[in-house]
Amino acid sequence: MTITRFAPSPTGFLHIGSARTALFSWAYARKQQGKFILRIEDTDLMRSTEESVTSIIDAMHWLGLDYDAGPFYQTQRMERYKEAIQKLLDDGKAYRCYCSKEELDVMREQQKAQGLKPKYDRRCLHGSTKKDGVSPVIRFKNPETGSVLWDDLVKGKIEINNMELDDLIIARSDGTPTYNFCVVIDDLDMKITHVIRGDDHVNNTPRQINILQAFNVPMPLYAHVPMILRDDGHKMSKRTDAVSVMQYKEMGILPEALLNYLARLCWGHGDEEIFSLEQFVEWFDLHGVSVSPARFDMKKLLWVNAQHIKIKSNDQLAVMVKDAFKLKNIEIEYSQIDLIKVIDLVKPRVDNINNLVTECAIFYQPDIVTEEDKEKHLTIDALAILKKFAAKISQIEWTIEAVKLAVKEFCAENQIKMPQLGMPLRLKLCGETHTPSFDMLVFILGCDEVIQRINS
């Protein structure tokens, strides 16, 4: 059975790039009808926090990336790692190293002076430098010859000569296992078949494969997916970019739109731009993931979001709008104005949920007209026109066609252009001049409400 995992380090929120990795890992498992595991890599005690774990899990939940097992915590598996390290020591595949930092610095300087690539020279391999009172680190005895080869499901064949690889420290002097070692044991114990992760980990892979081989176990398949960069090609940064998934929620992005956008950033299915998560799972294939880094484009994301807002049913959007109204203390329970009609009118105009809420809100809680608008558009003449218009619509049957016709006739009868009615009318009805088509606005508000607002 296919088993994939997402293995975030809880040192902050869920990063947008990590969300993309999680999505690919999740989708691959779902497509293969396998399992998707969540593993929290919290061995860096200085930087890992409980809040980060919570915020990562919340973000996964918001995105709808459900997992079949976990969250597993590395800090709860320490005994297992220690036992595995002991096995390597017993088998002569790892050794204790007593070298001090100073000693290693001198060694490196000497190697550099000789034009060599700095690499641990194994002086402790035979225990000859054992020092009393010094707690040793434990190093993995990397093979000296041959090479590590794997067929990356995204990047293709990769081969690294073992000469290039150092004897990795797998346990610190206080006995705690190091990151690369924990990952290997976890992937092994959790029977991971496909390691799908960011290509910033590609350098770890040969080391991890060598450790797996030291245990004589088969290795999983690897897929290293490209980084997501800013649109100028630089790394995204917390200071200048929205890098946390939940920031996108706050911006009014729908989770399905964010996932659609992230999927499309480094993968494609013909010309398909807009798709559901179900469609993505059906189409997704690791071989289709691009090798080159992706560039984040906020405008494109908003466009994708606008398409998903249009696809969403009015009922679903109404639930979101009502929740937002509650927070803003906007009362709609006793209103005659039908929220579903309002949403239907507004939704083609917006590219995020916050704007949808704001535009819907003006139907229920008109904005205060600014002095500037008042002077410019609500002149005595304009007010007189509005009063006449109120009289006209009080006579008609209330259908959208009749409202549209009444507007047309009214302008013709009074020899005015559409904006001469539209501008003051919009202001009176909503408090602002940028509203959806005003005949729809009039229709949805209803005859009594329109007349009342004109006369207010």
By CB under 6 A, name the binding residues for ligand GLU. Answer: 7-9, 41, 183, 197, 201
Q: Which is nearer to ligand GLU, 46 or 380 (CB)?
A: 46
Q: Which is nearer to ligand GLU, 2 or 307 (CB)?
A: 2
Measure the CA–CA gap between 35 and 317, rounded to whole angstroms: 32
SS (H, E, C) 9-25: CCCCCCEHHHHHHHHHH
Give least dist CB 220 to ligand GLU, A: 10
Give least dist CB 7 to ligand GLU, A: 4
Q: Which is nearer to ligand GLU, 199 or 256 (CB)?
A: 199
Give least dist CB 140 to ligand GLU, A: 17
Q: What angle, rounded to 10 degrees, do the helices at 16-31 and 255-265 form?
A: 90
Cross-strand partners of 139: 95, 169
Q: Which is nearer to ligand GLU, 9 or 75 (CB)?
A: 9
Contact between 288 and 222 (Cβ < 8 Å): no
Measure the CA–CA gap between 393 and 134, rounded to whole angstroms: 93
Q: Is 149 helix (H, G, I), strand (E, B) or coil?
A: strand
Q: Which two tokens stand for residue 102?
A: 């100073």
Give least dist CB 101 to ligand GLU, A: 26
Measure the CA–CA gap between 254 and 308, rounded to whole angstroms: 8
Give least dist CB 89 to ligand GLU, A: 24
Give least dist CB 180 to ligand GLU, A: 9
Q: Which is nearer to ligand GLU, 31 or 201 (CB)?
A: 201
Q: Which is nearer to ligand GLU, 197 or 312 (CB)?
A: 197
**Element at 301 (helix H, strand E):** helix 298-311
Q: Which is nearer to ligand GLU, 194 or 377 (CB)?
A: 194
Amino acid identity, position 324: A
Measure the CA–CA gap between 120 and 123, rounded to whole angstroms: 8
Which residue is at the shortest CB distance from ligand GLU?
197
Q: Which is nearer to ligand GLU, 22 or 427 (CB)?
A: 22
Distances (CA, A) of 154 to 36, 183, 194, 197, 285: 19, 20, 12, 10, 10
Q: Which two tokens stand for residue 11?
A: 């040192």
Break the chain down into helix, strand, coil percent, rounded to 5.
50, 15, 35
Q: Which is nearer to ligand GLU, 7 or 286 (CB)?
A: 7
Count of CB atoms situated within 10 Å of the CB of 331: 10
Give least dist CB 277 to ligand GLU, A: 22
Q: Which is nearer to ligand GLU, 8 or 177 (CB)?
A: 8
Give least dist CB 181 to ligand GLU, A: 12
Tokens 């350098």 label which residue? 203
Contact between 367 and 435 (Cβ < 8 Å): no
What's the burial of 168, exposed, middle or buried (CB within 10 Å: 0-12/13-18/19+)? buried
Give least dist CB 48 to ligand GLU, A: 10
Cross-strand partners of 158: 150
Measure the CA–CA gap between 441 and 341, rounded to whole angstroms: 10
Distances (CA, A) of 344 to 309, 349, 364, 444: 11, 10, 15, 10
Tokens 């016709």 label which residue? 405
Q: Which is nearer to ligand GLU, 27 or 444 (CB)?
A: 27
- What is the biggest distance separating any 2 CA atoms in the chain, rounded to whole angstroms? 106
Contact between 63 and 255 (Cβ < 8 Å): yes
Q: Which two tokens stand for residue 366?
A: 């008109």
Give least dist CB 6 to ligand GLU, A: 7
Give least dist CB 290 to ligand GLU, A: 19
